[in-house]
Amino acid sequence: MQDSGISVLFMGSNFLRLLEGLWVTVRISLISVILSIPLGILFGMFMTLKNPFSKVISRIYLEFIRIMPQLVLLFIAYFGVTRAFGWNLSAELSAVIVFTLWGTAEMGDLVRGALISIPKHQYDSAEALGMTKMQTFVYVVVPQTMRRLIPLTINLTTRMIKTTSLVVLIGITEVLKVGKQIIDANRFDYPTAALWVYGVVFLLYFLACWPISILAKRLEKRWR
Amino acid sequence: MENKIQLQVSNLKKQFGSETVLDGINLDIHKGEVVVVLGPSGCGKSTLLRCINGLETPTGGTVSVDGIEVTSSNKKITQIRQKIGMVFQSYDLFPHKNIMDNITLAPVKVQKRPRKEVEQDAERLLKRVGLWEKRKAFPRELSGGQKQRVAIVRALCMKPEVMLFDEVTAALDPEMVREVLEVMLELADRGMTMIIVTHEMQFARVVADRIIFLEGGKIQEESSPEEFFTNPKTQRAKDFLQTFTFEKRKTNNI
Ligand SMILES: Nc1ncnc2c1ncn2[C@@H]1O[C@H](COP(=O)(O)OP(=O)(O)OP(=O)(O)O)[C@@H](O)[C@H]1O
Ligand SMILES: [Mg+2]
């Protein structure tokens, strides 16, 4: 084929630009995940408090985050907040804030699920052995919730990496956007470039998420 | 049995909402005594045991072990609980720890005893119940009877002065009941102070020094096993014992 689209990938710094785009994606998701995990653990514990006030608050927060499409949240954070308060949040910071809010809600729900799945008699027998509430939590509850949580957390991370492609819409140039730019620039010389570029983008996403999925499977098997 | 009072329950009351479950229980248990608590389902047997080691806070009255009062507000509750071992009906081993770690967790973390010493105790106890080979196994790899024997060992490893058993064989397959009861019988022979809730009447008769019959939140009858089973004083106890016997009703004319 004369215009083999594959060569587009090796022209100039195209491939490097794609990798840089991937790094933007991964960076936003990793920062959000790293913030979401501790916040989500706290939120999950907050949700299990036997107190109607905390129940209502956390329910509203969770439902709000779930009902709103992430895209709307991104627009609110980036355009809305800037307008309303005159703060000039960078696009990437807005993205991190939105994904952290989302991650905290989802992580919190996972933590809540793991916590309430510990049967009551586990607490009873720990306390009957003289353990304090704190010791029960550290030696009995946390290890049992951890093994349920780790695979779920990893799945949440891969979901986040995939969802970050939305940030294009607030002007962040991540991997998908770079791909589109490369395709547009070569539309006339290499009409089949789209296939190749999107193929590589797919591969890059796959390479970012695959090791994480493998890890999840491993842990799941080991801790079944 | 010695004369020292190990456990004293005075005028113990427990309400759940408006439901009075325990309505003034008085009970003195001597060192080395084995008391079996009988009574119909829902009469408060579990609640009594749970109040004794502070898992439930009584609405009124007191429980004392060795003269020290058990109340949840008391900061010493965890210390008192170490004097009282409890084994439950549900197999309640910690699923994420192997047998040895299940047993050593509390002695090491709560009592701060040296791991070496605790493991020696655990070895001796596990050998006694015939489960030393299973020390590296996880609870899910054990049968119900084996799990209950481990749960007993785990409680014993805290060197308790009193042991509470709440229907520990009720969830077991019939062929596994015996192996657990044997362990409890041996423990009684060694002079452990025990309160046992059970529906195994033959076992109760053999193991008990004293039978307590609980109903309507009160102790209705308190007597030696011989007397209780052959000649119960109250009608309620008679009715209760009746539920464990079957009469042949089949006749030949249809
Ligand atoms: N945490 C609780 N909250 C409310 N009610 C309770 C609670 N625990 C027990 N009860 C009630 O107290 C009563 C006594 O319960 P308990 O478990 O002590 O009975 P039991 O004699 O052990 O019965 P069984 O032989 O079925 O085990 C029951 O009516 C039960 O519904
Ligand atoms: Mg009960």
B57 lines ligand 1 (CB under 6 A): no
Q: Do B81 and A121 touch (CB under 8 A)?
A: no
Contact B208, B230 (CB under 8 A): no
Which residues are CB-neighbours of B107 under 8 A, at least 6 positions away?
A: B113, B118, B121, B157, B158
User: In Å, what is the CA distance from B180 to each residue of B12, B169, B187, B190?
Assistant: 30, 7, 11, 16
Give distance in angstroms: CA of B41 to centre of ligand 1. 8
Instruction: Report the pLDDT value the prediction gives residue B73, as an integer from 0 to 100.
Output: 58
Ligand closest to B214 (CA) is 1
Does A133 reach chain B within 8 Å, measured CB to CB?
A: no
Backbone angles phi, psi at B148, to 5 degrees: -65, -35
Question: What integer is the mean pLDDT of B152-165?
Answer: 95
In the sheet that holds B210-215, the strands lie side by side as: B84-87, B162-166, B193-197, B34-38, B210-215, B218-223
The whole-angstrom distance between A159's CA and the closest CA on chain B is 28
Closest residue CA from atom 10 of ligand 1? B16
The DSSP secondary-structure symbol of A13 reads T
Kindly report the number of other CB atoms within 10 A of residue A40's CB atom.
25
Q: Whose CA is nearest to atom 31 of ligand 1?
A: B42
In terms of DSSP H, where are the helices of A81-192?
Answer: 81-85, 91-116, 120-128, 133-135, 142-163, 175-185
Q: Is residue B47 less than 8 Å (CB to CB) from chain A?
A: no
Q: Are B189 and B23 in contact (CB under 8 A)?
A: no
Per the structure, how many domains does chain A have?
A: 1
Ligand 1 neighbourhood includes B47 CB (under 6 angstroms): yes
Kindly give the number of the ligand 1 atom that is closest to the alpha carbon of B47.
18
Determine the residue among B70, B82, B94 to mutate to test chain A binding: the one whose Cβ has the most chain A Cβ atoms within 10 Å: B94
* Per-residue pLDDT tens over the stretch B181-228: 999 999 999 999 999 999 999 999 999 999 999 999 999 999 999 999
Q: What is the pLDDT of residues B116-143, one digit of tens each?
A: 999 999 999 999 999 999 999 999 999 9
Give percent of chain B above pLDDT 90: 68
Query: Residue A129: which pLDDT band, with cuts at 50, 70 and 90?
Result: very high
CA neighbor of A168 nearest in space, from A25, A20, A19, A14: A25
Neighbours of ion ligand 2 (CB under 5 A): B 46
- In the structure encoding, which two tokens stand for residue B131, read together? 């489960």
Q: Per the CB < 8 Å rule, is A129 touching B110?
A: yes
B37/B211 Cα distance (integer angstroms): 6
A1 pLDDT tier (thresholds 50, 70, 90): very low
- Mean pLDDT (whole number) for A46-57: 90
What is the rounded distance in angstroms from the CA atom of residue A208 to the CA atom of residue B1? 70
Q: Is A147 on the interface with B (CB under 8 A)?
A: yes
Residue B43, ligand 1, Cβ within 6 A = yes
Q: How confident is the model at residue A165 (pLDDT cuts 50, 70, 90)?
A: confident
Q: Of the candidates B224, B162, B182, B176, which has an alpha carbon nearest to the alpha carbon of residue B36?
A: B224
Reported pTM: 0.82
Sheet holding B19-30, edge to edge: B19-30, B5-16, B60-65, B68-69
Interval A50-62 mean pLDDT: 91
Q: Is the CB–ligand 1 distance for residue B45 below 6 Å?
A: yes
* Cα–Cα distance, B100 to B123 (Å, whole number): 9
Q: How far is the CA of B67 from the centre of ligand 2 (A)?
A: 27
Residues 6+ apart with CB under 8 A from A115: A44, A45, A48, A141, A145
The residue range of the domain holding A18 is 2-223
Q: How far apart are CA A140 and CA B137, in angstroms?
A: 18
Q: Residue A153 is part of a domain; what is its CATH number?
A: 1.10.3720.10
Looking at residue A3, its pLDDT comes to 59
Residue to substitute from B78, B112, B141, B158, interface A, most A β-carbons within 10 A: B78
Whether residue A3 lies within 8 A of chain B, CB to CB, comes out as no
Query: Could you give the ipTM of this predicted complex?
Result: 0.88
